[in-house]
Amino acid sequence: MAQPQNQNSDSIGIDPQIIAQLHQLTGSLSPTQQSWLGGYLTGIAAQGGIVPTTTEVGGDHVLTILYGSQTGNARSIAEELNEAAQAEGIATDLVSMGKFKEKNLKKTKNLVVLVSTQGEGDPPDDALNFVDFLNGSKAPKLKETRFAVCALGDSSYEFYCKTGKDFDTRLEELGGKRLFDRIDLDVDFDDDAEAWIASSIATLKEILPSAPATATAPISFAAPAASVKYTRKKPLQTQLLTNQKITGRHSEKDIRHIEIDLEESGLIYQAGDSLGVWFKNSPELVEGLLEKTGIRPTDTVEINDEKQSIQSALEQTYELTQLHPAFVQDYAELTNQAELRAIASDAEKLQAYITDRQIIDVIHEYPTTLTADALISTLRKLTPRLYSIASAQAEVEEEVHLTVGVVEYEAYGFHHLGGASGHLSQLQPGAEISVYVEASDHFRLPTNPDTPIIMIGPGTGIAPFRAFVQERAATEATGDNWLFFGNPHFTEDFLYQTEWQTWMDEGILTRIDLAFSRDQAEKIYVQHRILEQAEELWNWMNRGAHIYICGDESRMAKDVHQALLAVIEEQGNQTPEQAAETLDQLRRDGRYQKDVY
């Protein structure tokens, strides 16, 4: 929450450390939640500091909405379900799995679980401890519990919606009875989620008793006027301020520093959050796709009961750059291409096939004439891309910054551009852009400003750490800060070099270890620097340091994870099994956090 302009912490007798802790604690809240908290505290003060009575935990009339979310999608759907239920007079308890009291599970009579799946079928970070509890010997029998599960995932991956499926199975094993069947939502979930919420509320209204009139003793207050909530469905319409290439002329990479205007928007974010960016497909890509399929740009399609040209629909509504298995399977059936059908029916071959192809590549390789309706029947809706925010609002105020690596490569006879990164790279200052903040509760600075932090972020993974250090500088946090950064070349790819040097000179950045992989005969990466500094890393860990990784999930994050295990094993005199357990416990304690993609 923002501090009133006409008061400072000294004038009202609050210790600066408490102010810093409050700043960190409120950082995990959405703008709407921050506004609610402001009014809540005002109401408590008006009643002499008395906290009001709340609804009974898990009562017959209470709907408990429990979510586990890594990127914010499960949380956003949970919030929509909560709002819809309350609008119908249903008493609700909306809570993150990371904050849910395990002892309350056996008291919960009506439970809806919304949970995403990460990587190779893993639960989101905020669900780890609850998943262990649910699968452990202390899990209670749930014979009086009715439940439903909404699973989120990405069908491009092998373990699609696995965590949600596991929840569904386990809750039934514990004796729970289904309120309604599980739903599995893909990345383009907006329409399906909206329909699921509507049908769920209709069912819940029929089976949940009305809430007792005395169940709550709410405080009446008005939310602060500055409260504005921008979401995936209702993004902020604003303008781009800066689009600056920050890699050198001879760099192998095109990395952009993007600045976006937030003036008078009321949009709030915290260091560690991500920015959702809506984008449009390039007209050139759409033109090439229409040409290959023989569809006229003026042919019309119907979307949400409205007719529009296929050209407009492809530019603004449908995903064209991220190839997914369902497209290959549907297109193979539609075209009856035997070779493509063979690929689509083999999971291993299909995963390899989609790795570096876009939709235009499939159509080019297996050309056919289609109608506009047939084409869009194979496509999924466009989804926004999330970028780690590279600035702290305490420093840049009414702006938000991004560090964007432009996806660009030659393959299969085409020049390929990433959807969002290509769109952003071509925007000029003043161009319109649609954005919203996705809070990253799993990727936060320590609540104690004295706690040391270790940041590992090669390439564009540097973004959130620029925000972290800006935040710590602005709040005068005293904890030590250590950065590991890597890229191909020192002269071409040292992102934000002058800023890091200034922070070193000012004593804000305690240490920096650099790995420029192509500046010597033998390639050196950040994991090698970690191993070189094993003793000092272990010392920092024993001082309570929090460890953060941001960047590529498929290779870098795994290599860094292995390096950290080696450090713990060597310096802590632990077996491989003990080292794995130590690092896993750090993750569960919130001291080992990842923002990987």
- Residue 243 neighbours by CB distance under 10 Å: 18
Three-state DSSP class for residue 40: helix
Tens digit of each residue's pLDDT (9 = 90 or more) over 161-219: 999 999 999 999 999 999 999 999 999 999 999 999 999 999 999 998 765 654 443 33
- Of 451 and 35, the structure prediction assigns the larger pLDDT to 451
**Cα dihedral value 85, 86, 90, 96, nearest 10:** 70
Spatial strand order of the sheet with 481-487 comes to 511-516, 481-487, 453-456, 546-551, 592-596
Q: What are phi and psi of 278, to 5 degrees?
A: -85, 145
Element (H, E) at 537: helix 534-542
- Res 6: pLDDT: 40
Q: What are phi and psi of 276, to 5 degrees?
A: -80, 130
pLDDT over 90 at 393, yes or no: yes
In 463-557, which residue ranges form alpha helices assigned H by DSSP?
Answer: 463-474, 490-493, 497-505, 526-532, 534-542
Cα 129 to Cα 110: distance, rounded to the nearest angstrom:
21
Tens digit of each residue's pLDDT (9 = 90 or more) over 405-434: 999 999 998 899 999 999 999 999 999 999
What average pLDDT score do residues 571-578 get? 98
Fold of 453-596: Rossmann fold (3.40.50)
Same fold, 283-377 and 453-596: no
- Of 59 and 447, the structure prediction assigns the larger pLDDT to 447
Beta bridge partners of 100: none
What average pLDDT score do residues 123-151 get? 96
410-372-191 Cα angle (round to 5): 90
Tens digit of each residue's pLDDT (9 = 90 or more) over 264-313: 999 999 999 999 999 999 999 999 999 999 999 999 999 988 999 999 99
pLDDT over 80 at 27, yes or no: no
- Res 248: pLDDT: 97
pLDDT over 60 at 224, yes or no: no
- Res 34: pLDDT: 55
> 236-279+384-438 sits in which CATH class?
mainly beta
Nearest to 506 by CA among 460, 536, 474: 474
Q: What are phi and psi of 554, to 5 degrees?
A: -70, -35
Beta bridge partners of 484: 456, 513
pLDDT over 80 at 435, yes or no: yes
The CATH architecture assigned to 62-207 reads: 3-Layer(aba) Sandwich (3.40)
Angle between helices 534-542 and 558-571 (to 10 degrees): 80
- Domain boundaries, given as residue ranges, for the chain: 62-207, 236-279+384-438, 283-377, 453-596
Token representation of residue 146: 């009715």
- Of 15 and 524, the structure prediction assigns the larger pLDDT to 524
Tell me how far apart the terminal alpha carbons of the chain are, to the nearest angstrom.
Answer: 30
283-377: CATH, from 1.20.120.160, 3.40.50.300, 1.20.990.10, 1.10.1270.20: 1.20.990.10
Q: Decide: 435 and 276 in contact? Cβ < 8 Å.
A: yes
Cα 188 to Cα 143: distance, rounded to the nearest angstrom:
35
- Res 221: pLDDT: 36
Tens digit of each residue's pLDDT (9 = 90 or more) over 97-133: 999 999 999 999 999 999 999 988 999 999 999 999 9
What average pLDDT score do residues 549-578 get? 96
CA distances from 446 to 281, 480, 593 (A): 39, 12, 11
Element (H, E) at 235: none
What region does 272 belong to: left with phi over 0, alpha with psi -120 to 50, or beta? left
pLDDT band at 26 (very low <50, low <70, confident <90, very high): low
Mean per-residue pLDDT of the chain? 89
Cα 505 to Cα 502: distance, rounded to the nearest angstrom:
5
pLDDT over 70 at 45, yes or no: no
- Of 304 and 477, the structure prediction assigns the larger pLDDT to 477
Question: Residue 34 is which amino acid?
Answer: Q
pLDDT band at 57 (very low <50, low <70, confident <90, very high): low
Three-state DSSP class for residue 27: helix
What average pLDDT score do residues 5-9 get? 42
Nearest to 551 by CA among 559, 542, 562: 559
Cα 192 to Cα 186: distance, rounded to the nearest angstrom:
9
Three-state DSSP class for residue 190: helix
pLDDT band at 61 (very low <50, low <70, confident <90, very high): confident
- Res 7: pLDDT: 42
Q: Decide: 163 and 121 in contact? Cβ < 8 Å.
A: yes
Question: 555: which DSSP letter?
Answer: I
Tens digit of each residue's pLDDT (9 = 90 or more) over 68-85: 999 999 999 999 999 999
Q: What are phi and psi of 516, to 5 degrees?
A: -100, 105
